[in-house]
Structure 1
Amino acid sequence: MLNPIRHALPQRGHVARYLALLMFVVIVFTSLYPFTGWSYSGRPLLEFLFYPLPYYFRLFDNLVNLLVYVPYGFALALSLRPRWLGWSCALLFAALTSFMVEFTQEFLPERIASNLDMLYNLAGAFIGATLAVSPLFRRVWHHIWRWRQRYFVANEPTDYALALMAIWFITQLNPSVPLFGVVVMPLGLPQPFISPIDNPALFLLLLEAGGAMLHLIATLLFVTGFLSNRRYIARSVATVVLLAGFLKMLAAGMLLKPFAFFEWINSNVLAGLGAGFLLVWLLTRFGRAVQLVAALLALLATQVISALWPLSANERDMLALFRWSYGHLANMNALIDFLSHLWPLAAALCLIGALWNVRRMPSMQAKSK
Structure 2
Amino acid sequence: MTAASSSKPPLTVPAASSFARVSLLVYTLLIVYASWYPFSGWRDMGLGPFDYLWSRLPYYWTGFDIWTNIAGYAPLGMLLVFAMHPRIAPAWAIWPATAAGILLSACMEAVQTYLPTRVPSNLDLLTNSAGAFAGALLGAACSRYFLRESRFLSMRRRWFSGEASRGLVVAGLWPLALIYPQNHLFGLGHLVPPLLTFFSDLLDTPIDLATTWINNAQLSAEQYWLADVIVTACGLTGAALLLLMLLRKQAPRRALVMFYLLGCIAVKSLACALFFAPQNAFVWVSASSAGGIVIGAMMVTGLSFAPPTAQRRLAALALIISLAVTNAVPANPYYISTLETWVQGKFLNFDGAAQFLSVLWPFLAIWFLYHPVHRKQK
Which range moved further: 175-184 or 253-262? 175-184
Residue aligning to 1:40:
44
**Number of matched residues?**
340
Indicate the residue corresponding to 2:28 in structure 1: 24
CA RMSD in angstroms, aligned pairs only: 2.9
Work out whether 1:67 is the aligned partner of 2:76. Answer: no
Mean CA deviation greater in 52-61 or 74-83: 52-61
Distance 1:313 1:24 in 2: 34
Q: Residue 174 of structure 1 is aligned with which of 167, 170, 180? A: 180
1:117-266 alignment to 2 at 5 Å? 117-134=124-141, 136=142, 138-139=144-145, 142-155=150-163, 158-174=164-180, 179-181=185-187, 193-195=217-219, 200-229=220-249, 231-258=251-278, 260-266=280-286
Which amino acid letter does the alignment assign opposite residue 291 of structure 1?
Q
Alignment of 1:296-311 (within 5 A): 296-311=316-331
CA positional deviation for 1:291? 1.0
Choose from 107, 120, 134 the match for 1:113.
120
Paired residues of 1:45 and 1:106 also in contact (CA < 8 A):
yes
Gaps of 5+ in 2: 1-12, 191-209
Corresponding residue for residue 82 of structure 1:
89
Cα distance change on mapping 1:316 and 1:302 into 2, 3 Å: closer
Equivalent-residue separation in structure 1 for 2:286 and 2:262 (angstroms): 17
Q: CA deviation at 1:294?
A: 1.0
Deviations 1:46-96 (A, max 9, x none): 221122335542322222111011100000011112223421221111011
Give the CA deviation at 1:289: 1.2
TM-score by length of structure 1 reads 0.83
Which residue matches 1:6? none
Tell me if the contact between 2:98 and 2:133 (Cα under 8 Å) persists in the aligned partners: yes
2:360 corresponding residue in structure 1:
342
Deviations 1:290-331 (A, max 9, x none): 111110111111112113212355887224544x472435x5
Deviations 1:30-58 (A, max 9, x none): 11111111112113442211223355423
Percent sequence identity is 27
Amino acid at match of 1:21: L
TM-score normalised per structure 2: 0.81
Q: Could you say if the C-alpha distance between residues 105 and 298 of structure 1 is closer, same or farther in structure 2, counting changes exceeding 3 Å? A: same
* CA distance in 2: counterparts of 1:211 and 1:315, whole angstroms: 15
**Structure 2 residue aligned with 1:365:** none
SS in 2 for 1:328: helix
C-alpha displacement of 1:254: 1.4
- Deviation, 1:119, is 0.8
Report what 2:61 is aligned to: 57
Which whole-Å CA distance do the structure 1 matches of 2:182 and 2:353 have between them? 14
For 1:112, the aligned partner's letter is V
- Work out whether residues 213 and 276 of structure 1, in 8 Å CA contact, stay in contact via their aligned partners in 2: yes
Deviation, structure 1 residue 210: 0.8
Structure 2 CA distance for aligned equivalents of residues 178 and 265 of structure 1: 10
Query: What residue in structure 2 maps to residue 284 of structure 1?
Result: 304
Shift of 1:149: 1.8
* 2:345 corresponds to: 326
Rounded to whole Å, the distance in 1 between the matches of 2:48 and 2:125 is 18
CA distance in 2, matches of 1:194, 1:355: 43
Letter matched to residue 286 of structure 1: A
What's the counterpart of residue 104 of structure 1?
111
What amino acid is aligned across from residue 166 of structure 1 in structure 2?
G
Alpha-carbon separation, structure 2, partners of 1:106 and 1:299? 39
Q: Which amino acid is 2:267 matched to?
A: L
Note closer, same or farther for the CA distance 1:228–1:315 as it changes in structure 2 (3 Å cut). closer
Q: Which runs of 5+ in 1 are unaligned?
A: 1-8, 362-369
Contact 2:232 2:289 in 1 (8 A): yes
Provide closer, same or farther for how the CA distance between residues 192 and 116 of structure 1 changes in structure 2, counting only shifts above 3 A: closer
User: Partner amino acid for 1:262?
Assistant: F
Q: Distance in 1 between matches of 2:59 and 2:290?
A: 49
Per the TM alignment, residue 104 of structure 1 is displaced from its structure 2 partner at its CA by 0.7
267-276 or 241-250: which moved more?
241-250
- C-alpha distance in 1, partners of 2:129/2:278? 37
| SS of corresponding position for 1:216 | helix
> Which digits, 9 at most, give the CA deviation of each residue in 1:137-157, with x for residues without a partner?
5225544333322221112xx
C-alpha distance in 1 between matches for 2:372 and 2:304: 16
DSSP 3-state at the match of 1:68: helix
